[in-house]
Amino acid sequence: MSTPRDALGAPRFAVVPGEQVQEVLQGREPEVGEVVEAVYRLHGAGDSVNPPSYFLRFPDRPSARIIALPASLGGPLRVDGIKWISSFPENTRSGLPRASAVLILNDPETGYPYACLESSVISAVRTASSAALAADRLSRTRVRPRRVGFVGTGLIARYIHTHLVGTGWEFEETGVFDLSAESARGFRGYLERSGGKGRVTVHDSTESLVRGSDLVVFATVAGEPHIHETAWFQHHPLVLHVSLRDLDPRILLESANFVDDVEHCLKAETSPHLAEKLTGGRDFIDGTLNDVLTGRVTVPEDRTVVFSPFGLGVLDLAVGRFVHDQVAREGRLRVVDGFFHELRRHG
């Protein structure tokens, strides 16, 4: 969809609040999955620019950070922009979500920004959709998991479950573990309200959950590995290592490892980065998700499989454009008239 412009050719600037974002994305899990898969294929083909993320850290607030993810996507999804997302883990003590974000979309023809979208939901959706896509494609050569377990039960876990169910997954059992008993109870309540099939089990330890699950989702705020026992994974589950820093690198070295982007994932003290430091190389990486999508690599049946997605800015841009274009088609864009004031070079 073309960007709305004024008489001088400048894009009209719109603000898309979180309510509209959620209205567009809710119930469209298969459509969003198609967008996410298309982005991975474009990125794998080199039709994107996805620089390293920039981390703004604070000496007086060491657990907090704000991250800038600039990116550009080509092909039919063409868009430029940046996500500006904060992560303040202390928020969870008061019940406030850890992350908040905005997304700016830029017009590829003029460079002018044409939309600012509330992006915590977009970020959660692209993360969840990516995880659901990986779960599907990485399990096609294996027995499809029937028991899923969530370590960490915040907003991201909820969105991942929604996207798994929304893309056709059914589970005989859903396991839950969180260091916060209150959070675990809240997630169990969400699962029961969602009307999904199968029983819900709240585990009293990570070990119990991992050993009892064929599909394990790590969605924590861990800053360093806290899972060290390779024996917990002897049944070779499929692991969605969404929070990136939960697993001891030795667990990765005994597993088949897939990432979204090698260069992005092997940095910032992620578990794959620690594995690279430990071994001095990257041979433990079996491929990217795009390698699996295109059939360049085959997922083993007889090993634990770990997907570690760093999170690509191009995914945020594509989902953000999907939302913006849908709101525009419905005639509901909240345009800020006169946002760009100096539009004549010589006055």
- Whole-angstrom distance, CA of residue 102 vs CA of residue 113: 13
Average pLDDT in the chain = 94
For the entire predicted model, the pTM comes to 0.93
Q: Which two tokens stand for residue 238?
A: 């499929």
Do 124-308 and 14-122+314-335 fall under one CATH topology?
no
pLDDT at 197: 84
Q: What is the tens place of the pLDDT at every residue in 292-302?
A: 999 999 999 99
pLDDT in tens, 267-287: 989 999 999 999 999 999 999
**Residues of the chain by 3-state class (helix, strand, coil), percent to 5:** 35, 25, 40
Average pLDDT, stretch 323-327? 97
pLDDT at 1 over 70: no
From 79-88, 121-130, 335-344, the region with the lowest mean pLDDT: 335-344
Q: Which of 3.40.50.150, 3.50.50.60, 3.30.1780.10, 3.90.550.10 is the CATH number of 14-122+314-335? A: 3.30.1780.10
pLDDT at 266 over 70: yes
Per-domain residue ranges of the chain? 14-122+314-335, 124-308
How confident is the model over 39-60, as a mean pLDDT? 96
The CATH T-level fold of domain 124-308 is Rossmann fold (3.40.50)
> At a CB cut-off of 8 Å and minimum separation 6, what does 255 contact?
233, 239, 303, 304, 305, 306
